[in-house]
Chains A and B, each alone.
Chain A
Amino acid sequence: MSLTTAPAVITEPASTTRISLRIIDPAAVGAGLGLAFPTKIGARTVAGARSVLCLGPDEWLVQAPEREGEAMTEALAAIGTTLPLSAVDISDREITLALSGPAVLDLLAIGCPRDLAQLPVGSGCRTLFDTVQVVLTREAPDRFHLTVWRSFAPHLQALLDIALRELATGL
């Protein structure tokens, strides 16, 4: 059997700034950052290279290119002088893996209990992957970004590697 067409490919995108935001006034904070904050859990808006994913009723995950991290921190500090907010820089706490390919749903199904085929493109969710909490975003029908705490990444990568080999051999 030829292995030239891989069922799925795992890559690591360039490192990004990630900020965990707990706020009560998403509209005001969004205006300050130039991002429209979605209020439906799982919804995500992308503006240029920045994106914001709604994880809970008062919790958002903001992602931006690494070089914009400092500007982002300063903007949030300025907003924080007038609005109550909690912004935690979790850029180094987590890493993102990009999973793509025709079998990406089968690959994720080895560890994720959600029906990810139902996850709309452009949205995301926080869920489990083999007992590890992860944040999944669907970038395209066959492309997901999986964000996980750095210390769990070797475990996840080992699992995914085994699954990739199984998928490649048609198991």
Chain B
Amino acid sequence: MLLIRCPYCEQDLPELEFAYAGEAHIARPQDPSSVSDEEWRDFLFIRSNPRGVHVERWRHVNGCARFFNAARETVSDRFLATYKAGEPRPDIASLSGEAR
């Protein structure tokens, strides 16, 4: 089982307490009716799906119930960093250096 660090609880806790919630840092268009169909499709469905570091949202649903963001290496399934929602994305280059 993976241990995930909750940035609110500040503890490494079992994966079972958490729920995955999709890719992070996807902003909903401020005025949806003004965007084109292609832009709206991209917002709704098009995700990066990288081989490497993926920035994603998680929720500590059976714990403090907070959403937070995590950078995870999709090949090794290692969590490189977790940080509170609203904080800027960490420097991916330095994190992927750590992963190797």
* Stretch touching chain A among B6-14, B35-43, B92-100: B6-14
Asked if B8 contacts A41 (CB within 8 A), the reply is: yes
- Are A113 and B1 in contact (CB-based, < 8 A)? yes
Count of CB-CB pairs between chains A and B under 8 Å: 38
Say whether B63 contacts A125, CB under 8 Å.
yes
**CB <8 Å contact, B64 and A126:** yes
**Is B21 close to A, CB under 8 A?**
no
In the bound complex, do residue B62 and residue A42 qualify as a contact, i.e. CB atoms below 8 Å apart?
Answer: no
Dominant SS among interface residues on chain A: strand
Q: Which residues of A contact B (CB under 8 A)?
A: 41-42, 55-57, 59, 113-114, 125-128, 133
* Total chain B interface residues with beta-carbon distance under 8 A: 15
Quick one: given A41-B8, A113-B1, are A126 and B66 in contact (CB under 8 Å)?
A: no
5 contacts between A and B (CB under 8 A): A41-B9, A41-B63, A42-B9, A57-B8, A57-B64
**Is B77's CB within 8 Å of the partner chain A?**
no
How many angstroms between the C-alpha atoms of A127 and B13 in the bound complex?
10
A125 neighbours in B (Cβ, 8 Å)? 63
B residues near A (Cβ < 8 Å) are 1, 8-11, 13-17, 62-66
Q: Is the CB of B16 within 8 A of A56?
A: no
- New A-B contacts (15) at CB < 8 Å, excluding given A55-B64, A59-B65, A128-B17: A41-B9, A41-B64, A56-B63, A56-B64, A56-B65, A56-B66, A57-B66, A59-B64, A113-B15, A114-B14, A114-B17, A126-B62, A127-B17, A128-B16, A128-B62
**B35 to chain A: closest CB distance in Å?**
33
Could you tell me the distance in whole angstroms from the C-beta of A163 to the nearest C-beta in chain B? 18
Q: Please give the distance in Å from B5's CB to the nearest CB on chain A.
A: 13
Question: How far apart sit A113 and B15, CA to CA, in the bound complex (Å)?
Answer: 9
The residue on B at minimum CB distance from A41 is: B9
Evaluate contact between A126 and B63: CB separation under 8 angstroms: yes
Q: What separation, in Å, do the CA atoms of A41 and B14 have in the docked complex? A: 16
> How far is it, in angstroms, between the C-alpha of A163 and the C-alpha of B14 when the chains are bound?
22
